[in-house]
């Protein structure tokens, strides 16, 4: 044995290290009343798939992309109280393709909407031309309400050359586009003149009798028509009502405001919340009575299904989200819609080959192929997909003078596919995509519900 002394035994406790002072863990992400986005940020492993799928990043070299606007900016904001939201968040078009592209399920659009709302609320100059312009565009429903009172005058004034020039120079609203016409009779005016819910109930009962269904069958839906189908294209709303009644559904058109989609895109979250409160209140009551919420616009259904519960804490909001459907989607789920279409045919104005564009918000709901597949066997009409690119307009994005050229560059691929299609009529579920399709191709644009009406309703 060695003559060296054996060192004295010491106690070793790895659970309680001797740091010399009391240990206090660092709270990197303090408690907050806001929605918890940390799990989503932690799920991002910076693969940049969102950036490569972003249509804005593809044409705008100065735009840092969804990854920066989402998890990276969120982390910076959480770790530095003085960090300001980068103003490039206003260049995001809110197409939400990044949500669909992310392999990790990061809530990118929720992060973008949250950051954009904070930027507008806390950093944007409320007297700036950009803020005023964005506020007007985001609150289209207000402008449309007044325009609908004098539609002929509004249609002339909104597309009068000198007035458009002034709007571009003073507000930054592009003069390159034609403003959509306001209908001489809104959908809600038609609905009231027709007899509203009472008449719909009678029509539904008659249809059930023809189909051999119980006249008291519990088939009823609440129609969220949105702003555009009310003020600009009431023919879409009429087609929706008639198609649903043909299947024996009683339709109601409850009190409603804008879905909030243009407000999300412009960071006007306070405005969006006020509208959402009305929509959720009226729709949740009807859901309790057994109704499902149906939207003919895919951006409206996306707002009620996804953006509302992501951004707002309103009583009944989850219930409404769970019971909201896009109009054609609902019939595909609950009826033999494909069988009915296969047995039908169309002639006249809608005996066409349609160039169909699936809106980005349709893709996010998994509905991008439904029109093509549904009408595949319809005699007298053919629907061809014009590719999976973004149309480029993204609601109000393409109406901004500084964004117009970028929106047209994004839409180039779609325009080329439309040009090579045999027909000269377009089809889409999104009203602003329809604007872009018409603007870039000169084609007339129809909604799938209009083709369904022509095929199924006598």
Query: Given this model, what pLDDT does residue 4 score?
Result: 47
Q: What is the pLDDT of residues 356-401, one digit of tens each?
A: 999 999 999 999 999 999 999 999 999 999 999 999 999 999 999 9
Q: What is the pLDDT of residues 6-19, one digit of tens each?
A: 445 545 444 444 44
Which pLDDT band holds residue 458 (cuts at 50, 70, 90)?
Answer: confident
The enclosing domain of 378 has a CATH number of 3.40.50
What token pair was written down for 168? 């571009």
State how far the Cα of 74 lies from the Cα of 322, in Å rounded to an integer: 28
Query: Given this model, what pLDDT does residue 37 score?
Result: 62
Q: What is the pLDDT of residues 234-256, one digit of tens each?
A: 999 999 999 999 999 999 999 99
Q: Is 349 a residue whose pLDDT tops 50?
A: yes
212 domain residue, yes or no: no
**CA atoms within 13 A of residue 333's CA, in its CB half-sphere:** 11
341 domain residue, yes or no: yes
Q: Is 189 a residue whose pLDDT tops 90?
A: yes
Which pLDDT band holds residue 352 (cuts at 50, 70, 90)?
Answer: confident
State how far the Cα of 70 lies from the Cα of 104, in Å rounded to an integer: 13
Question: C-alpha distances in angstroms, 423 versus 266, 273, 383?
Answer: 36, 42, 9
Mean pLDDT along residues 174-192: 97
Share of the chain above pLDDT 90, in %: 83
Task: Please give, one letter per residue, the 3-state secondary structure of 159-192.
Answer: CCHHHHHHHHHHHCECCCCCCCCCCCCCHHHHHH
Q: Are 283 and 293 in contact (CB under 8 A)?
A: yes
Alpha helix (H) residue ranges in 178-233? 187-194, 196-211, 226-231
Place of tokens 């003085």: 82
Q: Are 213 and 205 in contact (CB under 8 A)?
A: no
Query: Given this model, what pLDDT does residue 220 score?
Result: 97
389 domain residue, yes or no: yes
359 domain residue, yes or no: yes
Total domain count for the chain?
Answer: 1
Mean pLDDT along residues 203-210: 96
Pairing, β 250-252 against β 292-295? unpaired
Pick from 68, 92, 70: nearest CA to 390: 92
160 domain residue, yes or no: no
Q: Which domain holds residue 422?
A: 337-456
Element (H, E) at 67: helix 66-67
What token pair was written down for 108? 């990118």
Q: Are 235 and 452 in contact (CB under 8 A)?
A: no
265 domain residue, yes or no: no
Backbone angles phi, psi at 345, to 5 degrees: -150, 160
Mean pLDDT along residues 400-411: 97
Q: What is the pLDDT of residues 111-122, one digit of tens each?
A: 999 999 999 999
Angle at CA of residue 54, ends 52 and 59, nearest 5° = 95
Question: pTM of the predicted model, to two decimals?
Answer: 0.89
420 domain residue, yes or no: yes
Angle at CA of residue 90, ends 87 and 91, nearest 5° = 105
State how far the Cα of 37 lies from the Cα of 118, in Å rounded to an integer: 15
Of residues 336 and 14, which shows the higher confidence score? 336
Query: Given this model, what pLDDT does residue 28 score?
Result: 39
263 domain residue, yes or no: no
Q: What is the pLDDT of residues 269-300, one digit of tens each?
A: 999 999 999 999 999 999 999 999 999 999 99
Element (H, E) at 240: helix 234-246
């Amino acid at each position: 044995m060695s003559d060296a002394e054996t060192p004295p035994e010491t106690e070793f406790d790895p659970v309680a290290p001797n740091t010399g002072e009391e240990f206090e863990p660092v709270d990197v992400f303090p408690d907050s009343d806001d929605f918890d986005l940390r799990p989503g940020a932690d799920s991002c492993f910076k693969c940049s798939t969102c950036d490569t799928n972003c249509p804005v990043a593809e044409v705008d070299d100065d735009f840092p992309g969804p990854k920066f606007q989402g998890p990276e900016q969120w982390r910076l904001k959480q770790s530095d109280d003085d960090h300001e939201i980068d103003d490039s968040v206003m260049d995001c078009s809110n197409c939400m393709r990044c949500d669909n592209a992310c392999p990790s399920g990061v809530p990118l659009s929720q992060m973008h909407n949250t950051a954009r709302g904070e930027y507008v609320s806390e950093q944007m100059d409320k007297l700036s031309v950009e803020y005023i312009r964005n506020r007007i565009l985001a609150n289209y429903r207000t402008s449309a309400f007044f325009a609908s009172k004098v539609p002929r005058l509004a249609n002339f004034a909104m597309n009068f050359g000198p007035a458009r020039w002034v709007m571009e120079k003073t507000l930054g609203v592009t003069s390159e586009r034609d403003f959509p016409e306001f209908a001489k009779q809104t959908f809600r005016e038609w609905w009231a003149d027709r007899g509203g819910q009472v008449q719909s109930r009678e029509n539904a009962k008659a249809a059930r009798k023809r189909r051999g269904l119980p006249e008291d069958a519990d088939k009823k839906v609440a129609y969220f028509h949105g702003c555009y189908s009310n003020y600009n294209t009431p023919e879409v709303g009429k087609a929706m009502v008639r198609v649903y009644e043909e299947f024996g559904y009683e339709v109601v058109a409850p009190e409603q405001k804008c879905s909030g989609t243009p407000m999300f895109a412009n960071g006007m979250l306070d405005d969006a919340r006020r509208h959402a409160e009305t929509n959720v209140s009226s729709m949740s009551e009807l859901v309790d009575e057994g109704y499902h919420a149906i939207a003919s616009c895919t951006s409206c259904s996306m707002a009620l299904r996804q953006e509302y519960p992501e951004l707002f804490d309103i009583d009944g909001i989850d219930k409404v989200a769970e019971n909201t459907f896009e109009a054609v989607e609902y019939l595909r789920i609950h009826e033999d819609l494909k069988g009915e279409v296969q047995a039908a045919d169309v002639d006249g104005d809608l005996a066409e080959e349609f160039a169909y564009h699936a809106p980005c918000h349709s893709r996010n709901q998994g509905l991008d192929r439904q029109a093509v597949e549904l009408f595949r066997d319809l005699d007298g009409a053919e629907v061809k997909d014009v590719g999976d690119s973004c149309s480029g307009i993204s609601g109000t994005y393409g109406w901004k003078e500084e964004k117009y050229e970028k929106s047209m560059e994004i839409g180039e691929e779609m325009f080329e596919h439309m040009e090579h299609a045999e027909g000269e009529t377009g089809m889409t579920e999104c009203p602003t995509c329809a604007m872009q399709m018409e603007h870039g191709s000169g084609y007339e644009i129809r909604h799938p519900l209009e083709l369904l009406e022509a095929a199924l309703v006598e």
